[in-house]
Amino acid sequence: MKRYNNFQMLNSCRAKVPEMYINIKDYKISIMRVVLSLLATFLQIYSQAFAAPISAQVTDEDGNPLEFAVITLVGENPTLETKNAVMPPPIMTQQNIQFSPFVLPVAVGTTVSFPNKDNIRHHVYSFSKVKRFELELYGEDEEKSVVFDKEGVVALGCNIHDNMLAYIYVARSHQFGTTNDLGSIEIANVNPGVYFVYVWHPRMSGDEEEYKRQITVTDQGLDQIQFRIPLKRERNRSRSKY
């Protein structure tokens, strides 16, 4: 049997003390991470249990409803934000020599498909700072795609057909949508909390910060949010109404 003298035993203990200290420290860090993760999960589940829809109405200065306005909710606490229950499909179709939809909102990082449903070729492009790209000539039933990795507005055109115009709005959160032909929208499953509400429209005069609202959502929801925004002169494109 191997024997240790007092000096060897003392050195052995000294070597183990730092190792034990490191292990205890790592254990405490691991426990804290688990507790914080469980707390975040609890807060998310608790808030979602009381989630409620909110609605908005967007009109111009004369009170006319505005279709294709994008409403975005940005929570003060990002962990309480949820993704839209029903997201618009990230597809920008070319059909009847026009883009459809006219305005497509997407989240940052979304891959948007550009199928050609016409029996002629299209050349889709954008010179917008948010996303510059070109999808060179491609024909009927062909499809190309682009990843939109930065928030902001991307104006689309066709290098062959100057009358084609549309917009991809890359939202700053995962809670957004576009107004219908009555100028209204409902966003479901909004967790209780404080939010900033942004509105954007292709013809809006000014920027989003001018019309930003702060709201507090309770488990009972919120009364309809009203936006009245001035418009710039319409562009001479196929979407002459907008």
- 39-48, 117-126, 191-200: which range is least confident on average? 39-48
CATH topology of domain 52-228: Immunoglobulin-like (2.60.40)
Predicted pLDDT of residue 24: 63
Structure tokens at 164: 């084609």
b/e per residue, 75-108, with b = 16+ CB within 10 A?
beeeebbbebeeeeebebbbeeebbebbbbbbbe
Compute CA 41 distance to the chain's CA centroid, rounded to the nearest angstrom.
21
The residue with greater pLDDT, 21 or 58, is: 58
DSSP-derived letter for residue 163 is T
Which amino acid belongs to residue 98?
Q
- Say yes or no to pLDDT of 241 above 50: no
- Mean pLDDT (the chain) is 83
Mean pLDDT of the 196-203 span: 96
The residue with greater pLDDT, 83 or 90, is: 90
- Say yes or no to pLDDT of 238 above 70: no
- Say yes or no to pLDDT of 199 above 60: yes
Predicted pLDDT of residue 211: 95
The residue with greater pLDDT, 168 or 23, is: 168
Assess whether the previous peptide bond of 101 is cis (omega < 30° from 0): yes
Give the pairing of strands 98-100 and 93-95.
Answer: antiparallel
Which residues does residue 218 pair with via DSSP β-bridges, in sequence order?
221
Alpha-helical regions (H) of 50-93: none
Mean pLDDT of the 99-126 span: 97
Most confident of 5-19, 85-99, 110-124: 110-124
- Say yes or no to pLDDT of 47 above 60: no
- Say yes or no to pLDDT of 216 above 70: yes
Residue showing tokens 């949820």:
82
Per-domain boundaries in the chain: 1-49, 52-228
Q: How many residues appear in the chain?
A: 242
Run of H or E residues at 27:
helix 6-49
Which amino acid belongs to residue 92?
M
- Say yes or no to pLDDT of 11 above 70: no
- Say yes or no to pLDDT of 162 above 80: yes
- Say yes or no to pLDDT of 176 above 60: yes
Predicted pLDDT of residue 29: 64
